[in-house]
Structure 1
Amino acid sequence: MLEHLSSLPRQMDYKGQKLAEQMFQGIILFSVTVGFIHRYVAEYFRWTVCIVMAGFAFSCLLTLPPWPIYGRHPLKWLPVQDSGIEDKKPGERKIKRLAKNN
């Protein structure tokens, strides 16, 4: 089973994050609205809480794992460029000190 879990994608791009956030908010808003209407009509609070909690659990199931739908727009990174600055050893670097104003 661990082999199957390691094959799942683990990346979520920025557009995927935005989509997941919008889905999460939409599902929560829908479940709260349905729960409130049920509370108003049936006057039974326990089912209202169950409806809202079911909406929360469903939204978590859809938005928390990095499903492949959230990784459709990967970022294209720039290639590595040589900066021309040689790396110095820590002992060779000059330490800049601030002047004290007395």
Structure 2
Amino acid sequence: MFARFNTIPTHMDYKGQKLAEQIFQGIILVSAVIGFIYGLVIEQFGWTVYIVLAGFAVSCVLTLPPWPMYRKNPLCWQPVLPESSGEPMQKHQEGGLKKKKHK
């Protein structure tokens, strides 16, 4: 049963994070403007709060889960380097590690 949970992707790439942030801010801004105008027209501040909270809930549903649209640009990691051929790191006189230079 727990193996099924391990197959669920839980990451976003950096461009996906930027897109999610832009969507989140846009929805919050639009809902705040709509809520303010509607609350001003009917003279009820409570409706302004309700509309902003509804916008917040919609933005959370759209941006918090790692939807596939946020995973379109994966990072290309460098391959793992093989172990060196027995050439250990040597201590430098100042206490740091220094690798032998080949001539």
What TM-score comes out, normalization by structure 2 length? 0.75
Letter in 2 for 1:34: I
Deviation at 1:83, TM superposition (A): 7.1
Count of residues paired in the alignment:
93
Structure 1 residues 86 and 16: CA distance shift in structure 2, 3 A: same
What do you get for the CA RMSD once the two structures are aligned? 2.5
- List gaps (5 residues or longer) in structure 1: 98-102
**Which residue number corresponds to residue 37 of structure 2?**
37
* Whole-angstrom CA distance in 1 between matches of 2:54 and 2:3: 30
- List gaps (5 residues or longer) in structure 2: 96-103
What TM-score comes out, normalization by structure 1 length? 0.75
**Which residue number corresponds to residue 21 of structure 1?**
21
Which is bigger in relative contact order (C-alpha 8 A, separation at least 6)? 1
Structure 1 residues 2 and 63: CA distance shift in structure 2, 3 A: farther
Identity of aligned residues (%): 54
* Higher-helix-fraction structure: 1
